[in-house]
């Protein structure tokens, strides 16, 4: 939610300082849920952004106009300073503030202001420290959050004009000029995000069901492709490459193995062989497909495992493993650790 608020502030600032064709914030009535959610986002973001400017540390008075220019340029991808320069300006400032604060702790006669924090003003119209800081904050915000609304949850694509109107009313209007009260803003956003959570859960369930059907088809074709591939009642498939003759591990055993894990598209996501060191772990402390397979593998065995997603990581992604993935492992059981 915080990222969305910052992004909304950036969107509004960007249009406010560019030629948008009409006066910023001049829109009609709130007509539907999209309008109300968008306007509420703008109000919420505007109030929070206005408050954060007033609380900026170090006794430097930020320039809202320059800050908004930085945000606007960040969203256009044409900032006067790049991301590294913006980061450097901010880091240097806060290091200076901290150093001065520590000095003041020893000498209470010191004054913490812009002149005590030595930051070189940037060119391109940034005349002083306050300008540089304001623009750097804006540019950093714009560059970091420009993509955020593309992943806005639920079934609504926010309306930028209504967001702008909300931001304008929050920043330069008063409580009498807003189309929603503070209480209404909270109600609109809370209701929408509660509903959006249900929508996203439904989308995830539909995606998981589609993946389940696709995985079932892949596993069925995989089993038919090689007569040496066997399947257990749980759905685990395996092929014996080398039949070991050693002891069988138990659920409470700790084993040492070499393995390579890959996806059905052949992409390797993990390999003890590539790391040059076997892995050691308890049989009962790994994914279900491994736990089941290891208890069937005598020491010295080399197997290829085809693990359905419900015996792997299921619907949750894990590192380079997407959600609902079939996992393929080449496994060599080296020893049972005594």
* Residue 87 CB contacts under 8 Å (≥ 6 apart), including other chains: 136, 140
- Of 146, 142, 140, 139, which Cα lies nearest the Cα of 70? 139
In the block, residue with structure tokens 């736990």: 291
Is residue 87 within 8 Å of residue 137, measured between CB atoms? no
Cβ atoms of 270 and 288 within 8 Å: the answer is: no
DSSP 94-140: HHHHHHHHHHHHH-TT---SGGGS--PPPSTT--SHHHHHHHHHHHH
Question: Under 8 Å CB-to-CB from 107, ≥6 apart: which residues?
Answer: none
Question: 313 by DSSP, 3-state: which?
Answer: coil
Backbone φ, ψ for residue 268 (5° rounding): -80, 125
Measured CA angle at 159 (ends 34, 73), to 5 deg? 155
What is the rounded distance in angstroms from the CA atom of residue 78 to the CA atom of residue 80? Answer: 7
DSSP 310: G
Query: Which residues of the chain form beta strands (DSSP E)?
Result: 230-231, 237-242, 254-262, 268-271, 279-282, 302-307, 327-337
Nearest Cα to Cα of residue 100 among 87, 113, 88, 91 = 113
Q: Among all residues, which ones are annotated catalytic?
A: 259, 269-270, 287, 313, 329
Residue pair 180/58 in contact by the 8 Å Cβ criterion: no
Task: Report the distance separating Cα 42 and Cα 51, nearest Å.
Answer: 14
Helix (H) and strand (E) counts in the chain: 9, 7
Phi and psi of 164, rounded to 5°?
-60, -40
């Amino acid at each position: 939610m915080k990222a969305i608020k910052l992004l909304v502030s950036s969107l509004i600032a960007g249009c406010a300082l560019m030629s948008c064709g009409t006066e910023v914030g001049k829109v009609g009535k709130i007509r539907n849920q999209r309008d109300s959610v968008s306007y509420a986002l703008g109000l919420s973001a505007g109030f929070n952004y206005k408050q954060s400017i007033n609380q900026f540390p170090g006794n430097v008075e930020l320039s809202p106009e320059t800050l908004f220019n930085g945000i606007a340029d960040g969203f256009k991808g044409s900032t006067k300073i790049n991301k590294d320069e913006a980061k450097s300006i901010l880091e240097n400032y806060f290091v200076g503030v901290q150093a001065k604060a520590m000095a003041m702790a020893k000498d209470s006669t010191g004054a913490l202001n812009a002149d005590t924090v030595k930051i070189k003003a940037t060119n391109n119209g940034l005349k002083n420290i306050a300008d540089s800081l304001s623009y750097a904050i804006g540019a950093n915000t714009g560059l970091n959050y420009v993509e955020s609304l593309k992943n806005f949850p639920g079934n609504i694509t926010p309306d930028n004009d209504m967001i702008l109107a909300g931001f304008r009313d929050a920043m330069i209007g008063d409580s009498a000029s807003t189309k929603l009260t503070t209480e209404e803003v909270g109600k609109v956003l809370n209701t929408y995000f509660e509903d959006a959570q249900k929508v996203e859960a439904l989308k995830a369930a539909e995606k998981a069901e589609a993946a389940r059907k696709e995985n079932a088809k892949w596993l069925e074709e995989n089993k038919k492709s090689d007569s040496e591939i066997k399947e257990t009642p749980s759905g685990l498939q395996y092929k014996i490459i080398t039949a070991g003759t050693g002891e069988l591990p138990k659920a409470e055993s700790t084993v040492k193995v070499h393995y390579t894990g890959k996806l059905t598209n052949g992409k390797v996501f993990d390999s003890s062989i590539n790391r040059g060191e076997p892995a050691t772990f308890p049989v009962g402390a790994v994914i279900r497909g491994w736990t089941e397979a290891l208890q069937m593998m005598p020491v010295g065995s080399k197997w290829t495992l085809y693990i359905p997603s419900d015996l792997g990581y299921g619907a949750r992604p894990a590192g380079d493993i997407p959600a609902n993935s079939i996992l393929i492992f080449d496994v060599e059981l080296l020893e049972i650790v005594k």
